[in-house]
Amino acid sequence: MQQNNREAIRQILIFNQEGMDEFASYAKKAIEDVMNCFPDYKDRFPIKIVGNWKSGNYRTYENGKFNLTPYESIDWYIEQAKKKAIEEGRWEPTKQINVDEMCHCLLLDPYFRKIPQFGIYLTKYDLYSYNASNYCLGQTVPGGFSVISTNRFWNTNKFDIANFQTVVQHEFGHILFFTNGDRSNVKEALGPHCTVAYCIMQQRMNGNMSDITEKRLFRKLRGFPPMCPDCSKQGVSTLDRVCEIYKNGLVGR
């Protein structure tokens, strides 16, 4: 297979709340590590940091105040999740936002339909969902996008880059359907998760990914991928399917 300088089929775009550029670059590196495990597809799925995106008409002036225009900025999506949290009495005590609401709005994103993409959305707010009512580190719509919070990776003043990157890779793995398929080493725990003892696609119900991060870094030093061969295989099958759809789309034009 030809490997270099082929046309991009689908971009992997990283968006973030204001003031989070540093975290976007940690996320990019994490995803690069995963995509490096798929050399035949790497150039067709380029990774790009978009940052705190807003369109030209991201806000309107009405009755003496500015309002964010629906779907026209990252801040608007976060505002929706925050509004929901206020409604549900979560914002005041815990400063958490409702990730289900954010995913719901992102599913209706008109740009998502126009520009083929996998999206990573970073927020500094803590997340809760109807499934994980206490808190969650991230949530993914497979085949689409992930919303990930940096909030739980702060240990006093130090940011735990390695554990954050494990979670980014895990959520990105859900985007690529790593834990799909008829597999004996996948079990249901808030979505399908891998049971292979070193794989990043394992679930930790207490949110502590440190043991997985340790194994991941150990493997990385030795040139091994962060996921197991079965998760890898599912990744190839997803990327291949996306390429097929693209090819067939061209034929039909």
Site residues (CB under 5 A) for Zn ion?
Answer: 194, 196, 199, 201, 228, 231
Nearest to Zn ion of 24, 194 (CB atom): 194
Q: Which is nearer to Zn ion, 222 or 253 (CB)?
A: 222
Q: How far is the CB of 217 from Zn ion (least distance, A)?
A: 17
Closest CB to Zn ion among 194 and 239? Answer: 194
Closest distance of CB 170 from Zn ion, Å: 6
d(CA 58, CA 76): 8
Q: How far is the CB of 180 from Zn ion (least distance, A)?
A: 11
Q: Which of residues 81 and 176 has its CB atom nearest to Zn ion in the complex?
A: 176
- Name which of 229, 199, 223, 224 is nearest 213 in CA terms: 199
Least Å distance, CB 191 to Zn ion, is 5
Cα 218 → chain centroid: 23
| Residues 79, 69, 61: CA angle, nearest 5 degrees | 110
Bridge partner list, 73? 54
Residue-level length of the chain? 253
In degrees, to the nearest 5, what angle opens at C-alpha 54 toward C-alphas 46 and 69?
Answer: 135
Nearer to Zn ion, 91 or 118 (CB): 118
Given a contact cutoff of 8 angstroms between Cβ atoms, the answer to whether 212 and 166 are in contact is: yes
How near is the Cβ of 132 to Zn ion at its closest, in Å?
10
74-87 helix and 99-107 helix, angle to the nearest 10 degrees? 140
CA distance 250 to 136: 40
Q: Compute the least distance from the CB of residue 185 to Zn ion, in Å.
A: 7
Residue 97 or 201 having the CB closest to Zn ion: 201
Contact 121, 147 (CB under 8 A): yes
